[in-house]
Chain A
Amino acid sequence: MDGELKVNFKLWLEKNSGPVIGKGGIKLLEEINKTGNLQTAIKNLGISYRYAWGYLKKMEKAVGEPLIKSYKGGFKGGGRTVVTTKGLEIMRIFNRFETYLNTALQNTTLWEAYGLKTAEMNTIRGFVEEVKVGAEVAELTVNVAANTEIVSIITAESIRALNLNENDEVTVIIKATEITLDKGE
């Protein structure tokens, strides 16, 4: 099979554990906001009026207040639809998180730190044998196998953040490119 596996995500907003809005709803609100007209927005998105209207009503019910406001008739009889303040707020929240998550998804260093394999890595389970905390750094000795220990120097701050204590079960990560080899004579 060709092509690499990629990670993706779906984002939606919830209220009282019930779904409020997802990508499709945001697209609809954005199109209404851009065109100022529900009919045009629906036509641009290629969805039916019935579907869009039902979707909007469902979202409004979940939020508990209107997301769009329509003005009838007027010049040329066109009618106008605008996104309410609440609707704009929801668009902002959604887009902010989507941008944030997209950035996080592309941040391979972050995933490596979480132990997800984005590069060739060695992950070894072990138990903390000794914690020596200094002023700035700490030396951690992890027992990974019989008579085999791995020593790690991490900041004293990390020890506190991870609440690391002796006998804790931990995962040791070593990037494959950080290993030096020597051949025994």
Chain B
Amino acid sequence: MIKVNKMISARNKFIGKVKSVELQDLIGKIKINVTAPIKITCVITREAVEELKIKKGDEVKVFVKATEVIILK
């Protein structure tokens, strides 16, 4: 697991690099390269993208609460 500065309950924490940022009217679609070959697409509000000043090449932390992870066999 990856170390984060803040204490956060989310069980899934990854560090990744922003591959692309696609801004729409209300949302921002961010593609992130995590550990190869894992790529994650994340949809957050446009407001959040602007507040965090997320742009291509940035290093970001990705959090996912364990109860939001669906498993298929």
Contacts and interface: CB of A to CB of B under 8 A. Distances in A.
B72 A173 contact: yes
Contacts of A114: 72
Interface in B15-66: 15, 29-30, 34-44, 48, 52-54, 58-66
Nearest to B6: A182
Interface residues of B, number: 42
A149 B11 CA distance: 10
B52 A145 contact: no
A124 B38 contact: yes
- The A contact surface, by secondary structure, is strand
A93 to B, nearest CB: 31
Interface residues of A, number: 43
B62 A179 contact: yes
A139 B71 CA distance: 11
Contacts of A120: 29, 41, 43
A173 B58 CA distance: 24
A151 B11 contact: yes
15 contacts: A115-B72, A122-B40, A139-B66, A142-B71, A145-B38, A148-B34, A152-B66, A152-B71, A169-B73, A173-B69, A173-B72, A181-B44, A182-B60, A182-B61, A184-B58
Interface of A: 113-115, 120-122, 124, 139-140, 142, 144-154, 158, 162-164, 168-185
